[in-house]
Structure 1
Amino acid sequence: MRDQERPAEGSAADTQRTHWQTTYTAHPRMYGTEPSEAARHAAADFRAAGARTVLELGAGHGRDALFLAREGFTVHAVDFSAAALGQLTAAARESGLADRITTTVHDVRDPLPLPEASVDAVFAHMLLCMALSTQEIRAAVDEIGRVLRPGGLLVYTVRHTGDAHYRAGISHGDNIYEHGGFAVHFFDADLIHCLAKGWRMHGVQAFEEGELPRRLWRVTQARR
């Protein structure tokens, strides 16, 4: 189906929260143990900037959080799936990294559970392009800016409007399309520029991931 509109049935993000919780429970460590390409790039950027503490948003079962901890960073991982974070906590213990990783169940639509200017860097791989409205995405980036120290780096990745699934499946409006049970907010260039206002933009790189492949942007920007 393409561009099929359906009546409002509550928040798409609320529905997705339940969907992800069920998925992580049914498929432990569903993304494997190897870190994402985005995490590898982020680690290099964070190290060059002298970062020590990293907040990962949408950490899932922790393949990237574990990688960042192995790279020497102290990581605070948040996700709205308790099942996923349980898997991350167990893996951290098994890997001897429990002293470098803390976790919090958290919905990115809510204020971050951290003090102002308390972390050196923030990493979010495909978290901001979940079933969030543009307004919710802007609020989330404002919160990221609040908890970052001056000069701190934000590295985030998002699927964009050049992706094969853009405009495919069920439309929820606001460039959000649901395909195979997963809803994605596809970013255009205007949204990237909007989210960079008040920040120092370091760059936007296009890359691909997965078998489709997914088409994404990796955005790096610094808090002023």
Structure 2
Amino acid sequence: MQVRDGGRSRSLAAGQHDHWQSTYTTHPGMYGERPSAPAVHAADVFRRVGAKDVLELGAGHGRDALYFAREGFTVRATDFSRAGLDQLDAAARAESPAERVTTTVHDVRDPLPAADASVDAVFAHMLLCMALSTEEIHALVREVRRVLRPGGAFVYTVRHTGDAHYGDGIAHGDDTYEHGGFAVHFFPRTLVDALAEGWDLVDVHAFEEGALPRRLWRITQIAD
């Protein structure tokens, strides 16, 4: 597996940030208002582990963050796109659970904005398979483990190497391909297993989403 060097990774990340900013600005509410199927699953998992607060990474314009708030969780929503989070803030103000949602502009290449063992649950829908190197993904999961309390739950989804777009478009190395302006790091199963070391890996569930359709895994793991 080829791993991107740090400079190339940062350059790709900067381009992706600009692309997402433009996309959210041009297509507000692009994913609709209904929660994703993984978020519905995650809410059930979070209730089972007694979670009261959720840290969402890559929340975008907030369809899942708002769903978690409606379900009674306190939500800290992060994204590197201010444009997406502005839409989430506006939607939260228009709804009754507004007081349960806070937003923070944050790049997951940096340490997570939370103290050690201070979070009950973490959710990330297709965030880990964005323009991140394998090294950056491992560092992020270590950060998730740092901020989660013992027994806390982490639910995330990624596109995998069985996806129709894997190997298509502009190759950036490290199983990352850019198609239609969006760069995706496609996960092999070995990466999922490596990221679960030191965790209780509960489930790796295959599902499809969108019109292509995109092929994904939904991973559920518990902090030991």
User: 1:15–1:150: structure 2 CA closer, same or farther, 3 Å change rule?
Assistant: same
Say which SS state the counterpart of residue 97 (structure 1) adopts.
helix
Aligned to 1:215: 215
In the alignment, which residue of structure 1 is the partner of 2:146? 146
Counterpart CA distance in 1 for 2:38 and 2:203 is 14
Alignment match, 1:134: 134
SS of 2:187 mapped into structure 1 = coil
Greater helix fraction, Structure 1 or Structure 2: 2
Question: Match for residue 198 of structure 2?
Answer: 198
TM-score (norm 2): 0.95
- CA distance, structure 2, for counterparts of residue 9 and residue 159 of structure 1: 19
Partner of 2:28: 28
Offset, 1:98: 1.5
**Displacement after TM superposition at 1:12 (Å):** 1.1
Give me the whole-angstrom Cα distance separating, in 2, the residues matched to 1:10 and 1:98: 34
Q: 1:4 matched to which residue of 2?
A: none
Give identity over the alignment, percent: 68
What corresponds to 1:121 in structure 2?
121
Tell me which residue corresponds to 2:52.
52
Alignment match, 2:3: none
User: Using the alignment, how far apart are the partners of 1:132 and 1:210 within structure 2?
Assistant: 22
- Aligned positions of 1:84-103 closer than 5 A: 84-103=84-103
For 2:4, the equivalent position in structure 1 comes to none
1:95-152 per-position Cα deviation (integer Å, ceiling 9, x unaligned): 1222100100000000011111111000000000001000000000000001000110
Q: How many corresponding residue pairs?
A: 217
- 1:56 is paired with a residue whose SS is strand
Secondary structure at 1:88 match in 2: helix
| One-letter amino acid of the counterpart of residue 86, structure 2 | G
What is the deviation of 1:48?
A: 1.3
Q: How far 1:11 sits from its partner (Å)?
A: 2.1
So what's the TM-score if we normalise by structure 1?
0.95
Give the whole-Å Cα distance in 2 for the aligned partners of 1:204 and 1:9.
Answer: 28
